[in-house]
Amino acid sequence: MSEPSGSSKSFIVSVAALVVALVAGGLAVWALVKEPAEEPPQSNSVFTGTATDDPKASVCEAFAVVRNGVQINTNMAPPGGPEDVTGSLAVAANARIALYDGGQYLMARLQPDTPQELADAVRTFANHLMDIGSRSTSGIPNTDPEQAARLQEADTANTRITELCQ
């Protein structure tokens, strides 16, 4: 028996490559023209927690954790007093983290079946926390009129959620 020549090997490889390309092209055309089986559910939710039988209690618990963390970290004094530059920067960084991450945490713990009024208040509060934290990180002080308004709106949302969670 003789071994196939180089040109015969090339021919076989070329035919195999052509077959693979035709199959891939056919699959691509089929994927483009086929109808989807069903529409994926549309959801604006970013819920990443564990669903519970009591979504109100769950989000109220998350709210209490966030509110406590924000309260502690935004009212902390630098350990070395006002002259402690490093301590002041660390305290400010922790406050910003508490604000921004607290807002994200609330959004992630907001179950889809949370009562609408509470869910709206939690979204408002969480977004205000993230806005305040982001702007603080960019150097906008609390005395800035727009930042002061955000702080007031967050406080109003805080009060509303506290009432709804009773």
Tell me how far apart the alpha carbons of residues 8 and 14 are, in angstroms, rounded to a whole number.
Answer: 10
What is the residue type of 8? Answer: S
Domain map of the chain by residue range? Answer: 1-34, 55-164
Residue environment code for 43-61, b if the CB has 16+ CB neighbours within 10 A, otherwise e:
eeeebeeeeeeebbebbbe
- Tens digit of each residue's pLDDT, the chain (166 residues): 555 566 777 788 788 888 888 878 877 877 777 776 665 444 555 666 667 678 999 999 999 999 999 999 999 999 888 899 999 999 999 999 999 999 999 999 999 899 999 999 999 999 999 999 999 999 999 999 999 999 999 999 999 999 999 9
* Nearest partner of 67 among 162, 150, 131, 141, judged by Cα: 162
Tell me how far apart the alpha carbons of residues 107 and 110 are, in angstroms, rounded to a whole number.
Answer: 5
Q: How far is CA 164 from CA 18, 55, 153, in A?
A: 67, 13, 17
